[in-house]
DNA sequence: CTAGGGTTAG
């Protein structure tokens, strides 16, 4: 096809008196259009096709232009044309071409190009080898990538970094760290790769630790690594660390690009500081969909449904189109704030006005919204009529709604289905046992507990963390290893005395039935958030906000106790749950007791 | 004219 077009161009009258300077002009035009970010690839291609016999340089430029495009397919097509026309390669041809293959994760083409590289004698070119390594990694061919890496005679820093990144992207974090440690000379990209690897694998503390080592090694952070670290801070709820990064950015007058701004907003929001999140958000110019979505999510997890929806409208006024994730955030906002009608409207408009397909997550949000409002039949109906099979999350959401609205028949049915579907999930057994207990069917409840025990299913350990002067302290259920455990126990005893004075009764009904009543009390008082709160009260000035981050959802007893503690000690306690924030103040919680 | 690193939900 391409050849044909060129033949047509050749017959064009202007081409009859083509001069050398005209050729240069075309060359420059192609160059400019194909390479500049604001360039016009289509136009470059048109001009390219008017050139009778473009040299390799021009072909390379065109391939490069395509390799940077959203759809780099054209690079491969052009390369085929090049082969077809017997155009000679240069060492510049392969890196661009392989970049396109990498983007498209095209293994077959990568392998073919590999053999071309060998045949044409470019195997020793480190640029081509590194590009090839990267393309193999993107196709998931770790073994081929490593094999190639081992054979590169003169490995440079890019070879090492690409191989580390190959392990990271294929979820082999340990191998990545091993290779990183062997890397002879490291730059900021080397460090970023392992740090990002830690972040994606959930090792947030490791990420921060490695970042500190990076600074000790004298490597200057750039905005990419800071974006990763901010994400780690957001996940940990490490506000002080995050603020330090923000100050670093300001002090060094670093440009706040989309990703950095987005992560700053996300960090403040997830660390419980919605005011600063909004402050940063407002200063960001040219906000893209990521940034808007991060802020909407921030409002959502704080239970600020109205604000989230208002921002959703502002976003569209600003001409930014919401994507599927934006809708998940907006719907989550509705579910946490109990906005039934708004949620329904959003869910419908998503397909109608934005032609976005609803994923199972969106249906999940709707089930939560309907479930919270007590529309259980409607929620069940939605699950039945949705185009995909329900997963455990969605049925779990309906089950929670059943418990809240005391629809035990449906609850029991769902509980059984869920255990069958996911027999290693402890929470499902507990949900079902609790449902039986609620209807007085103790023997059934015991049976479910026993089934869980027999199958060796164990609860995911609850963990709460609290940041104190830049250090994140973690507490696990029934873990006594913290240095200050003695003081924490004494503090908790004192808290208990005052709690009982205001009429608090430990809620032990939902606990393991084979424990004595006293043991049950001990067990719930070892819940990680209670340890963290006691620790926070010991180590901070009276009146200081106490911020706790929990990996699971807060239990009802802890929720009640924390409300009372906020009143007794006149302090604000912010607990970040698995799904949202709870701001405890004057004996009340911002979630309105629905979570 | 070359190669490698980041973000929003659940």
> Which token pair is A294?
């991060």
Kindly list the strands in the beta sheet with A581-585, ordered across the sheet, starting from the edge strand earlier in the chain: A471-476, A463-468, A546-550, A573-576, A581-585, A588-589
C-alpha–C-alpha distance, residues A330 and A79, integer Å: 45
What pLDDT score does A324 carry? 96
With cut-offs at 50, 70 and 90, classify the pLDDT of residue A514.
Answer: low
Q: For chain A, give the percent of residues with pLDDT over 70.
A: 91
> What does pLDDT average to over chain A?
89
pLDDT digit string (tens) for A523-546?
677 788 999 999 999 998 888 889
Stretch A484-512: mean pLDDT, rounded? 85
Residue A285: left (phi > 0), alpha (psi -120 to 50), or beta? Answer: beta
With cut-offs at 50, 70 and 90, classify the pLDDT of residue A509.
Answer: low
What pLDDT score does A36 carry? 60
pLDDT over 70 at A10, yes or no: no
Q: How far is the CA of A37 from the C1' of B3 (A)?
A: 19
C-alpha–C-alpha distance, residues A539 and A547, integer Å: 12
C-alpha–C-alpha distance, residues A229 and A206, integer Å: 10
pLDDT digit string (tens) for A66-124?
998 888 999 999 999 999 999 998 999 999 999 999 999 999 999 999 999 999 999 99
> Which token pair is A272?
């419980």
Stretch A387-413: mean pLDDT, rounded? 90
Stretch A363-371: mean pLDDT, rounded? 96
Angle between helices A142-151 and A126-138 (to 10 degrees): 160
What pLDDT score does A35 carry? 62
C-beta within 7 A of nucleic chain B, residues 306-345 of A:
323-326, 328-329, 332
How many Cβ atoms from other residues are within 10 Å of residue A80's Cβ?
Answer: 12
Place of tokens 């990183």: A180
Angle between helices A289-301 and A258-270 (to 10 degrees): 0
- Residue A352 makes CB contacts below 8 A (sequence gap 6+) with none
> Which token pair is A52?
């009778």
What pLDDT score does A385 carry? 95
The better pLDDT of the pair A593, A378 is held by A378
With cut-offs at 50, 70 and 90, classify the pLDDT of residue A46.
Answer: confident
Rg from Cα positions in chain A: 29
- Do A41 and A62 touch, CB atoms closer than 8 A? no
With cut-offs at 50, 70 and 90, classify the pLDDT of residue A430.
Answer: confident
pLDDT over 90 at A431, yes or no: no
Q: How far is the CA of A120 from the C1' of B4 (A)?
A: 24
C-alpha–C-alpha distance, residues A555 and A558, integer Å: 5
Least confident of A31-45, A47-61, A111-125, A292-306: A31-45
pLDDT digit string (tens) for A206-251?
999 999 999 999 999 999 999 999 999 999 999 999 999 999 999 9
Q: Which nucleotides of B are covered by protein (CB under 7 A)?
A: 1-10
What pLDDT score does A43 carry? 84
- Do A81 and A3 touch, CB atoms closer than 8 A? yes
- Residue A41 makes CB contacts below 8 A (sequence gap 6+) with A33, A34, A65, A66, A69, A74
What pLDDT score does A87 carry? 92
pLDDT over 60 at A310, yes or no: yes
Stretch A177-187: mean pLDDT, rounded? 96
With cut-offs at 50, 70 and 90, classify the pLDDT of residue A5.
Answer: very low
Using the CB atom, is residue A128 less than 7 Å from strand B?
yes
Which nucleotide lies closest to A99 by the C1' atom and the CA atom? B3
Which nucleotide lies closest to A393 by the C1' atom and the CA atom? B10
C-beta within 7 A of nucleic chain B, residues 201-260 of A:
222-228, 231, 257-260
Stretch A400-406: mean pLDDT, rounded? 87
Q: How far is the CA of A92 from the C1' of B7 (A)?
A: 31
Q: What b/e string do you get for A315-329 counting C-beta neighbours within 10 Å, with b at 16 or more?
A: beeeebebebbbbbb
Stretch A132-142: mean pLDDT, rounded? 96
Q: For chain A, give the percent of residues with pLDDT over 90.
A: 68
What pLDDT score does A15 carry? 41
The better pLDDT of the pair A445, A107 is held by A107
pLDDT over 70 at A314, yes or no: yes
pLDDT over 60 at A13, yes or no: no
What pLDDT score does A108 carry? 95
What pLDDT score does A269 carry? 97
Using the CB atom, is residue A393 less than 7 Å from strand B?
yes
| Closest listed residue to residue A64, CA positions, set A86, A37, A88 | A37
Using the CB atom, is residue A358 less than 7 Å from strand B?
no
- Residue A298 makes CB contacts below 8 A (sequence gap 6+) with A265, A266, A268, A269, A270, A274, A277, A278
- Residue A92 makes CB contacts below 8 A (sequence gap 6+) with A57, A60
C-alpha–C-alpha distance, residues A514 and A311, integer Å: 50
Which nucleotide lies closest to A137 by the C1' atom and the CA atom? B4
With cut-offs at 50, 70 and 90, classify the pLDDT of residue A18.
Answer: very low
Phi, psi for A576 (deg, rounded to 5): -95, 120
What pLDDT score does A114 carry? 96
What pLDDT score does A592 carry? 86
Q: What is the DSSP string of A134-160?
A: HHHHHTT-HHHHHHHHHH-TT--HHHH
CA distances to A36, A60, A119, A446 from A56, rounded to whole Å, are 19, 6, 18, 77
Bridge pairing between strands A573-576 and A581-585: antiparallel
Calculated CA dihedral for residues A553, A557, A562, A563, nearest 10 degrees: 110
With cut-offs at 50, 70 and 90, classify the pLDDT of residue A516.
Answer: low
What pLDDT score does A422 carry? 82
Q: Residue A452, SS3?
A: helix
The better pLDDT of the pair A556, A398 is held by A398
- Residue A348 makes CB contacts below 8 A (sequence gap 6+) with none
A150-159 contact pairs (CB < 8 A, 24+): A152/A126, A153/A124, A154/A124, A154/A126, A155/A126, A156/A126, A156/A130, A157/A183, A157/A185, A157/A186, A157/A187, A157/A189, A157/A190, A158/A126, A158/A130, A159/A126, A159/A129, A159/A130, A159/A133
Using the CB atom, is residue A200 less than 7 Å from strand B?
yes
Bridge pairing between strands A546-550 and A573-576: parallel
pLDDT over 70 at A34, yes or no: no
For chain A, report the end-to-end CA distance as a whole number of angstroms. Answer: 60
Least confident of A22-36, A122-136, A197-211, A212-226: A22-36
The better pLDDT of the pair A39, A353 is held by A353
């Amino acid at each position: 096809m391409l050849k044909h077009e060129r033949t047509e161009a050749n017959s064009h009258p202007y081409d009859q008196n083509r001069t050398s300077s005209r050729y240069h002009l075309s060359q420059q035009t192609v160059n400019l259009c194909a390479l500049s970010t604001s360039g016009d690839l289509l136009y470059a291609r048109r001009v390219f096709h008017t050139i009778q016999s473009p040299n390799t340089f021009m072909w390379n430029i065109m391939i490069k232009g395509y390799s940077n495009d959203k759809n780099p397919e054209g690079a491969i097509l052009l390369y085929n044309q090049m082969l077809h026309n017997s155009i000679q390669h240069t060492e510049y041809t392969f890196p661009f071409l392989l970049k396109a293959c990498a983007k498209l994760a095209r293994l077959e083409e990568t392998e073919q190009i590999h053999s071309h590289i060998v045949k044409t004698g470019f195997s020793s070119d480190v640029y081509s080898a590194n590009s090839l390594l990267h393309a193999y990694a993107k196709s998931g061919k770790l073994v081929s990538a490593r094999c190639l890496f081992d054979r590169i005679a003169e490995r440079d820093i890019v070879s090492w970094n690409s191989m580390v990144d190959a392990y990271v992207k294929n979820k082999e974090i340990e191998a990545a760290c091993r290779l990183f440690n062997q890397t002879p000379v490291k730059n900021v990209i080397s460090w970023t790769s392992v740090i990002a690897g830690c972040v994606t694998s959930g090792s947030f503390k490791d990420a921060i630790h490695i970042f500190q080592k990076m600074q000790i090694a004298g490597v200057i952070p750039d905005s990419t690594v800071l974006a990763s670290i901010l994400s780690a801070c957001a996940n940990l709820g490490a506000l002080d660390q995050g603020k330090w990064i923000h100050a670093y950015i300001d002090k060094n007058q670093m440009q706040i690009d989309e990703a950095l701004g987005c992560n700053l907003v996300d960090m403040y929001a997830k660390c419980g500081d919605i005011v600063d999140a909004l402050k940063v958000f407002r200063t960001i110019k040219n906000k893209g969909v990521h940034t808007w979505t991060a802020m909407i999510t921030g409002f959502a997890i704080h239970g600020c449904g109205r604000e989230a929806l208002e921002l959703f409208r502002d976003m569209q006024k600003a001409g930014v189109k919401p994507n599927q994730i934006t809708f998940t955030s907006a719907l989550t906002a509705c579910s946490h704030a109990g906005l039934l009608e708004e949620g329904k409207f959003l869910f419908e408009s998503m397909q109608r006005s934005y032609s976005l397909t609803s994923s199972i997550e969106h249906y999940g949000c709707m089930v939560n919204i309907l479930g919270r409002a007590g529309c259980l039949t409607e929620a069940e109906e939605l699950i039945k009529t949705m185009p995909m099979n329900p997963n455990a999350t969605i049925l779990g959401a309906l089950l929670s709604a059943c418990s809240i609205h005391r629809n035990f028949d449906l609850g029991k049915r769902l509980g059984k289905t869920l255990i069958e579907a996911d027999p290693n999930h402890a929470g499902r057994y507990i949900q079902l046992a609790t449902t039986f207990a609620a209807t007085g069917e103790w023997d059934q409840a015991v049976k479910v507990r026993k089934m869980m025990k027999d199958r060796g299913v164990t609860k995911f350990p609850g963990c709460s963390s609290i940041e104190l002067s830049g250090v994140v302290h973690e507490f696990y259920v029934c873990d006594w290893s913290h240095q200050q455990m003695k003081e924490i126990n004494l503090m908790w005893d004192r808290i208990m005395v005052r709690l009982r004075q205001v009429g608090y009764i430990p809620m032990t009904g939902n606990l393991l039935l084979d424990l004595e009543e006293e043991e049950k009390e001990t067990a719930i008082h070892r819940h990680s958030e209670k340890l963290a709160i006691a620790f926070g009260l010991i180590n901070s000035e009276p009146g200081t906000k106490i911020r706790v981050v929990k990996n699971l959802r807060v239990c009802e007893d802890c929720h009640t106790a924390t409300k009372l503690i906020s009143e007794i000690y006149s302090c604000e306690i912010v607990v970040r749950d698995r799904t949202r924030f709870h701001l405890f103040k004057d004996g009340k919680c911002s979630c309105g007791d629905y979570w």
